[in-house]
Amino acid sequence: MYYNFLETMNKNPFNICTFNSNSNCNECKNQDKLDCKLDKNQQKISMLAVSSSLIIGVFGLIITGLIIGNWQILILYIVFIFLFFFVIEIRLTCTHCPYYAEKSRHLDCPGNNIFPKIWKFRPEPMNRYEKFGSTFGFILISAIPLLSQLYSIWFFLSNNPNASWVLIIALFGVLIATILSFLMFYSLFLLTFCQRCINFSCQFNKVPKDLVNEYLKRNPVIKNAWEKRKITNGKR
């Protein structure tokens, strides 16, 4: 029993109830209302939604490269994707999430299980600059392939006024597929996952305040960090 306790503390140094196998979830008011315990099926759905959107976006940029004869946008987009998800977004948003508190080499949460932990856990809520950076990044993730494809279609039609309707329909088909894939991605998160996510300070989080307070009450490290941030900002 003592060994199990030490093993739990080594894995869960901040004593977050999410990772505590001895947490009395049956008496918790948040039971079945939050994604505070890892669901591998949800994780797979999340990763599928993100990866499919990015793959379709990249495919659209390949078409753009073929049409305009310039591959810089595609290369920069791929570099940006890796930097944003593996370095920037994980620092801005993920480090404030309770799932990041687990002692491991990579993040294992409802969103993914591949991000490396290159930053320290930050139990305090996100600040306005982090929220802005995260939001702007997600806008770029979808805007770059969509705007590039629109430009490539205009460029193609301008230089090929007598182009086959089959080819024109195919180009618009790729554009529509890109739009639908990103709509599915954002809708899935905003309408389902963000309603239950325990990264409460995220700008997209929609968890009711009473559920947030209940979770904070069960996790003093995070609660104290939140209260300290309020005092620092002149709020009590």
Domain spans in the chain, listed from the N-terminal domain onward = 41-185
Mean pLDDT for the chain overall: 90
Rounded to an integer, what distance in angstroms lies between the CA atom of residue 165 and that of residue 155? 16
Q: pLDDT > 70: what percent of the chain? A: 94
Q: Does position 1 have pLDDT exceeding 50, yes or no? A: no
What is the mean predicted confidence (pLDDT) over 101-121? 91
DSSP assignment of 130-184: HHHHHHHHHHHHHHHHHHHHHHHHHHHHHH-TT--HHHHHHHHHHHHHHHHHHHH
Per-residue pLDDT at 4 exceeds 70:
no
| pTM for the structure as a whole | 0.87
Q: What is the mean pLDDT of residues 90-109?
A: 94
What is the Cα 64 distance to its own chain's centre? 26
Instruction: Give yes or no for residue 195 having a pLDDT over 50.
Output: yes
- CA dist 183 and 147 (Å) reads 15
